[in-house]
């Protein structure tokens, strides 16, 4: 298979659904690499998300559940959420008790970090999409849930993830991220191939030496190297940052997400240190400054675009750091091990089907990885979507009702009052048995053929998979980018190996994956 002459697949334009074929487009030649044009996001053509319309057939039901007495109710629920039951059982038990996928409860952290932990929970695929309707819900300062981390952790700025589309700065900041994703698009595939080939070499060496190869640490280093080399043109190993970024990012993210994480520490220590008071931002100030200096020195081209959009270098840099380290790196850190876990568990039969499909398509296109070749890999694409469905990397979404609403589950209609906070737990919504057959099973070919119709119910990106992000919504700016590189991981994996085995354990964020065998490709 040739890797020296590669046609770069284009990131999906915002007006195309995943199943559509790429339209013919003019290409320019740079050496032996054919570069497609990536167009700016159409700010007016993105389809609006339609909230489910109430039908007269469904009864209007009072939202069941309660929040308990002030403070004490939230504290008790926090104990159940983190220790007595765990997140999934906490929500499932209440769903069963109230016989409803819509109910009232408290979500952590509660006292004394969150001023108001009361929420209306949505756990089905029919009610959940109201969270994507910007005319009905507000997303201001709700990215992490019922609390917002200190802006001292982001240079004093509210970064894009915490800004509602109605705010003036939202459009220009999101447009800047679209520019970041497209201005070096010709580097994405070759850098991915280079970086992840190095990662596979590392795993093979570790496996040969000890019979086991831990994926997460080298995988996180590979993820950061890929992002900075492809999007910024800088190898961190050649800078003062060196190989320290994953650890620095991990500490910084802990200070933001600690209030909603269970790290497995002794209960008293975890309650005191993480869930009751905020960790002081000053403790990671020096670490954050190292990351900031790296991005400030690496973003000259993006700063030029920021200036055109009326964004200062400082605000742009804090947003680029957050988008790269929290959103993109964080997404890859969680999603790639998850995909390896589900693929590894699926076994050799699926691996053989994927290897045959991928190698046949690549061979038919001159031994090159091309968009046309990847479009002829329906099983590969379905596997990526199925992983995003069964274990979405960002499980919880929040919104605050802008007005009095009537929402519908499959069984009833419910009134939500203006100002109430809505919390959607996505793993239940995307495993809704009234939408998906064998909803709790990993079904590799679920989204092939007529199964593509179900993509509207894959919601991992803060929007349906059949919609692309625009500056007017809160859907992940890198949605198509993440799907694209996930497909590349599967392609690279099965061009190199016939099959593999893994062991997986649960982490506070994602899974710890250990590779126990790798069988090299037999061709």
221 falls within a domain: yes
37 falls within a domain: no
Backbone angles phi, psi at 491, to 5 degrees: -65, -50
Closest CA to 399 of 46, 42, 111, 51: 51
117 falls within a domain: yes
Q: For position 143, which CATH number holds?
A: 1.10.630.10
54 falls within a domain: no
Query: How far is CA 395 from each of CA 19, 266, 343, 426, 512, rounded to the nearest angstrom?
Result: 25, 25, 20, 5, 18
Predicted pLDDT at 483: 97
The rounded distance, in Å, linking the Cα atoms of 409 and 122 is: 8
Q: pLDDT tens track of the chain, all 523 residues?
A: 433 333 333 344 332 333 333 333 333 332 333 333 333 333 333 444 444 444 558 999 999 999 999 999 999 999 999 999 999 999 999 999 999 999 999 999 999 999 999 999 999 999 999 999 999 999 999 999 999 999 999 999 999 999 999 999 999 999 999 999 999 999 999 999 999 999 999 999 999 999 999 999 999 999 999 999 999 999 999 999 999 999 999 999 999 999 999 999 999 999 999 999 999 999 999 999 999 999 999 999 999 999 999 999 999 999 999 999 999 999 999 999 999 999 999 999 999 999 999 999 999 999 999 888 999 999 999 999 999 999 999 999 999 999 999 999 999 999 999 999 999 999 999 999 999 999 999 999 999 999 999 999 999 999 999 999 999 999 999 999 999 999 999 999 999 999 999 999 999 999 999 999 999 998 7
10 marked as part of a ligand binding site: no
Query: How far is CA 384 from each of CA 14, 91, 165, 306, 433, rounded to the nearest angstrom?
Result: 19, 27, 29, 33, 20
Closest CA to 168 of 341, 372, 310: 310
Predicted pLDDT at 21: 39
23 falls within a domain: no
| Letter string b/e over residues 299-327, b meaning 16 or more CB atoms within 10 A of that residue's CB | beebbebbeeeebeeebbbbbbbbbbbbb
| Letter string b/e over residues 383-400, b meaning 16 or more CB atoms within 10 A of that residue's CB | bbbbbbbbbbbbbbbbbb
Closest CA to 249 of 167, 353, 342, 321: 321
Q: Which residues pair with 407 in a beta bridge?
A: 414
Q: Which residues pair with 398 in a beta bridge?
A: 423
11 falls within a domain: no
* Structural domain containing residue 152: 60-520
The rounded distance, in Å, linking the Cα atoms of 3 and 1 is: 7
153 falls within a domain: yes
Number of domains into which the chain is organized: 1
49 falls within a domain: no
Q: What is the DSSP string of 16-72?
A: --TTSPPPP--EEEETTEEEE--PPP-TTTSPPPPPPPP-TTSPB-PPPB---STTH
Task: Let me know: does 128 contact 426? Beta carbons within 8 Å.
Answer: yes
Task: Let me know: does 358 contact 380? Beta carbons within 8 Å.
Answer: yes
Predicted pLDDT at 56: 53
């Amino acid at each position: 298979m040739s890797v020296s002459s590669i046609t770069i697949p284009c990131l999906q334009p915002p007006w195309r659904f995943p199943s559509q074929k790429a339209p013919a487009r003019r290409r320019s030649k740079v050496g032996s690499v054919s570069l497609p044009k990536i167009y700016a996001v159409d700010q007016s053509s993105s389809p609006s998300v339609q909230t489910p319309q109430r039908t007269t057939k469904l009864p209007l039901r009072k939202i069941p559940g309660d929040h308990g007495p002030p403070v004490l109710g939230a504290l008790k629920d926090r104990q159940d959420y983190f220790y007595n039951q765990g997140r999934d059982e906490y929500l499932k038990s209440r769903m069963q008790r109230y016989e409803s996928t819509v109910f009232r409860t408290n979500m952590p952290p509660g006292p004394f970090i969150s001023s108001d932990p009361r929420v209306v929970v949505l756990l089905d695929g029919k009610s959940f999409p109201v969270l994507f309707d910007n005319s009905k819900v507000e997303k201001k300062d709700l990215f992490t849930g019922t609390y917002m981390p200190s802006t001292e952790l982001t240079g004093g700025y509210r970064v894009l993830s915490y800004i509602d589309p109605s705010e003036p700065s939202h459009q220009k900041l999101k447009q800047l991220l679209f520019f970041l994703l497209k201005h070096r698009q010709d580097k994405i595939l070759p850098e991915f191939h280079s970086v992840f080939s190095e990662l596979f070499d590392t795993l093979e060496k570790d496996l040969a030496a000890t019979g086991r190869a831990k994926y997460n640490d080298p995988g996180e280093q590979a993820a950061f190297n890929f992002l900075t080399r492809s999007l910024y043109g800088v190898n961190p190993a050649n800078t003062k940052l060196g190989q320290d970024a994953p650890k620095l990012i991990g500490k910084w993210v802990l200070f933001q997400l600690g209030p909603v994480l269970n790290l497995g520490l002794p209960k008293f220590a975890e309650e005191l240190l993480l869930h009751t008071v905020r960790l002081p931002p000053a403790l990671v100030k020096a670490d954050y400054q190292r990351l900031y200096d790296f991005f400030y020195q690496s973003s000259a081209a993006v700063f030029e675009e920021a200036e055109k959009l009326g964004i200062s270098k400082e605000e742009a840099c804090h947003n680029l750091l957050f988008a790269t380290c929290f959103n993109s790196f964080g997404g890859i850190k969680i999603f790639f091990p998850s995909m390896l876990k589900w693929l590894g568990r699926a076994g050799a039969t699926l691996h053989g089907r994927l290897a045959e499909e991928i190698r046949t398509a690549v061979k038919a296109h001159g031994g090159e990885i091309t968009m046309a070749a990847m479009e002829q890999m329906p099983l590969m694409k379905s596997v990526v979507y199925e992983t995003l469905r069964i274990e979405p990397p960002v499980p919880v979404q929040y919104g605050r009702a802008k007005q009095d609403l009537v929402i519908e589950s499959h069984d009833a209609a419910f009134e939500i009052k203006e100002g109430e906070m809505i919390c959607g737990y996505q793993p239940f919504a995307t495993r809704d048995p009234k939408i998906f057959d064998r909803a709790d099973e990993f079904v590799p070919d679920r989204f092939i053929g007529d199964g593509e119709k179900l993509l509207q119910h894959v919601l991992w990106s803060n929007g349906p998979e059949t919609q692309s992000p625009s500056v007017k919504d809160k859907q992940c700016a890198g949605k198509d980018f993440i799907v694209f590189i996930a497909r590349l991981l599967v392609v690279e994996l099965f061009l190199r190996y016939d099959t593999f085995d893994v062991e997986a354990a649960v982490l506070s964020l994602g899974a710890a994956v250990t590779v126990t065998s790798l069988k090299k490709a037999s061709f």
